Amino acid sequence: MQLPRGKNFAIVLLFLTVFHTTTKSGTDAEELSVDVGTEEEVIAEDDEISTGKASLVLDDNEDIDSAFNNEDDVPEENDECSRISPKEIFHNEIHLRLLHALDEMSHFVEAVLIRIESALNTLLPHVQESPIGNLRVEDLFPEVRRFLHGTMRDVYDVVRASWRDLIRTHVAEASDASQQLNALRIVRDAQIQGEEKIKASLMELSVTLRAIILNSIYVLQESLKLPEHTEPKEAAAQINQKLPKVAPNFLGTLMMKIIEKGENRDAYKKLLTNTLRYITGPVNKMYEQLEDLNKAGPSTENLQIYWKSMIEESHLRLIEDPIEPPKYEIVYQNEEYLAGLVLGLMATF
């Protein structure tokens, strides 16, 4: 296996600490006409996330609507609440699927980072003059957490705000298909761009993990002081022999798997990158059907028929693919499975 050069990868790791402190959540995407708060509010929110005061991870007994201030603030005439409305689709399905997708990612990120962070603290004392030693673990991991959780919170805020604008538009312009189509276009674009931001943040996580794992292999090999022309198989055998002593943990599992399979990305199962697929797919279809209806010059009655049809399709999706209570804590306790996801992440990006 072609092992990394320690000094070069040390520079990569040091660069990552700077990168994450200067990079905003996600990649620069086309701005949407959705107000998600001032810069000061975002900074304050990130501080809360980093200290554990705010998180996308909810307790089993915590009310989702209360946790995310999801009260219904879209008034209708005569205080009536119409069930033939995008409000029905959002509250009954889309909002929950969005929360579940982001909550799962939040649990995955935390499960990986907490294990890698602990493993590095175990490994470093065993390796003298380690280039990883130049990395301030206590600085990097909080920054990675802040970056990833900040991205997820930004995506949630933008997608939720776009849906609320659609609901307001539907209430105010009940017979105007073009206005509703414009609002639905913003919803569609918000979800697509949110998915791209999540993809970019996962790519950064992949780069960070790759640098850490490959450096760990390198410094462990260096600590063994093997002869210069040692065969890769012999080097791998020596590293495997020492791993249980210095890295009997999640990091050691990842190192062993990479030593055994090499860095060839085709050796690992890649992950799906469309993390919001359970909401982007239905909304794309909704948009296409409303676009066709708008071209035909719809009446108020046709719009009501359209939304009734969309609600029926939403109910069918919930029957065919129900939203089950999450069990992420249990799933991610399986370190073998979690290691497979990490290697898949590295193979994907």
Would you say residue 75 lies in a domain?
A: no
Would you say residue 265 lies in a domain?
A: yes
pLDDT at 298 over 90: no
pLDDT at 17 over 80: no
pLDDT tens-digit series, residues 80-95: 446 788 999 999 999 9
Would you say residue 56 lies in a domain?
A: yes
Q: What is the per-residue pLDDT for 291?
A: 93
What letters, b where the CB count within 10 A reaches 16 and e where it falls short, cover 324-349? eebebeeebeeeeebbbbbbbbbbbb
pLDDT at 54 over 60: no
Pick the range with the lowest mean pLDDT from 41-55, 148-162, 194-208. Answer: 41-55
Q: What is the per-residue pLDDT for 264?
A: 73
pLDDT at 44 over 70: no
Place of tokens 């304050």: 44
Nearest to 311 by CA among 340, 348, 281, 286: 286
Would you say residue 164 lies in a domain?
A: yes
What is the phi-psi region of residue 269: left when phi exceeds 0, alpha when psi lies from -120 to 50, beta otherwise? beta
User: In angstroms, rounded to a whole number, what is the distance separating the alpha carbons of residues 117 and 121?
Assistant: 7
pLDDT tens-digit series, residues 300-328: 788 989 999 999 999 999 999 999 887 88
pLDDT at 22 over 60: no
Q: What is the mean predicted confidence (pLDDT) over 328-343? A: 90
pLDDT band at 149 (very low <50, low <70, confident <90, very high): very high
What residue type is 133 in one-letter code? G
Would you say residue 110 lies in a domain?
A: yes
Would you say residue 76 lies in a domain?
A: no
Higher local confidence (pLDDT), 347 or 59: 347
pLDDT at 184 over 60: yes
pLDDT band at 60 (very low <50, low <70, confident <90, very high): very low
> Domain residues for 114?
6-70+81-348
The total number of structural domains that make up the chain: 1
Would you say residue 1 lies in a domain?
A: no
Would you say residue 199 lies in a domain?
A: yes
Q: What is the mean predicted confidence (pLDDT) over 192-204? A: 95
